[in-house]
Amino acid sequence: MDLFTTSLSLAGLEPPSDRVTDGLDLLPAMLQGQLTDRPIFYYRGNTLMAVTLGQYKAHFWTWTNSWEEFSQGVDFCPGQNISGVTTHTQEEHTKLPLIFHLGRDPGERYPLSFASTEYLNVLHRITPVAQQHQEALVPGQPQLNVCNRAVMNWAPPGCEKLGKCLTPPESVPEKCSWPH
C-alpha cells in the first residue's frame, strides 16, 4: 500500500526530493473515486514474474514451489491447479508471456491465445513497460532476509479447542535466503 505518499498528501506535504519513492497518492481514489492506471510489477526475489497493465496481466515466469515442497504438503496455491500456470518447476515465458484479461478472468485460469489479435496488441503494450522498468531499476538492499522460526504461527486462534497449540521455539533470528 502507498501509505507513505498518501500520508504526506494528507498532511499537505510533498514527498522528499532527495530519494526515489515509488508510492502513489491514494487520496484522489479514496476521496473522489478517481482511479490511477499504472503498471504493477510482481517480483519473486530479484525476478520480475509478472506485470499488470490496465485489465491485463502478463506472466513472464511461472512457479509456485518445488515438487519436493509440494510432495511434503506445502501448497502455495491450494485448489488452484491451473495447467501451465501453477507450475512446480520455474517456467520461463519471457518471449511469449501468458496474458490474462483480469476483467473477464479474475482467477487467471484462461490465458489469451498467442495467435489472437488481442494478445498481440497487449504484448506490444506491456513488453516495453516491463523492459523500461527493468532498465531503470536500481536494486536495493534486501529487507526480508532474516528468518526466525519463533515468529511462525505456532498457536493460531482456535488451536486450544482442538488441543493442537504448539510451543514456539526459542527466538533465534538469522540471515537467510528464500529458495523461492
Q: To which residue does cell 511469449 refer?
A: 96
123 and 79 fall within a common domain: yes
Boundaries of domain holding 158? 146-175
32 and 43 fall within a common domain: no
122 and 74 fall within a common domain: yes
pLDDT value at residue 151: 79
Mean per-residue pLDDT, 76-96:
84
Task: Between 147 and 128, name the one with better pLDDT.
Answer: 128
129 and 43 fall within a common domain: yes
The predicted model scores a pTM of: 0.69
87 and 30 fall within a common domain: no
d(CA 103, CA 111): 13
Residue 150 lies in a domain: yes
Q: Which amino acid, one-letter code, is at 164? A: K
Q: What is the CATH number of the domain that holds 125?
A: 3.30.1120.10
Q: pLDDT band at 126, cuts 50/70/90?
A: very high
pLDDT value at residue 137: 87
Domains in the chain: how many in total?
3
pLDDT value at residue 178: 64
pLDDT tens digits for 145-178? Answer: 788 888 777 788 888 898 888 888 888 888 887 6
78 and 108 fall within a common domain: yes
Q: pLDDT band at 81, cuts 50/70/90?
A: confident
| Burial bucket for residue 173 (CB in 10 Å: 0-12, 13-18, 19+) | exposed
Residue 29 lies in a domain: yes
Please give the share of the chain, as a percent, with pLDDT higher than 70: 98
Q: pLDDT band at 75, cuts 50/70/90?
A: confident
pLDDT tens digits for 36-62? Answer: 778 999 988 788 999 999 999 999 999
Mean pLDDT over all residues of the chain?
87
126 and 95 fall within a common domain: yes
57 and 98 fall within a common domain: yes
H/E stretch holding 123: helix 117-136
Which residue, among 81, 89, 42, 101, has the nearest Cα to 62 in the 3D structure?
Answer: 89
118 and 156 fall within a common domain: no
Cell output for 35 = 482511479
Cell output for 120 = 498481440
Cell output for 62 = 511461472
pLDDT value at residue 110: 94
107 and 125 fall within a common domain: yes
83 and 26 fall within a common domain: no
Residue 180 lies in a domain: no
Task: Between 67 and 109, name the one with better pLDDT.
Answer: 109
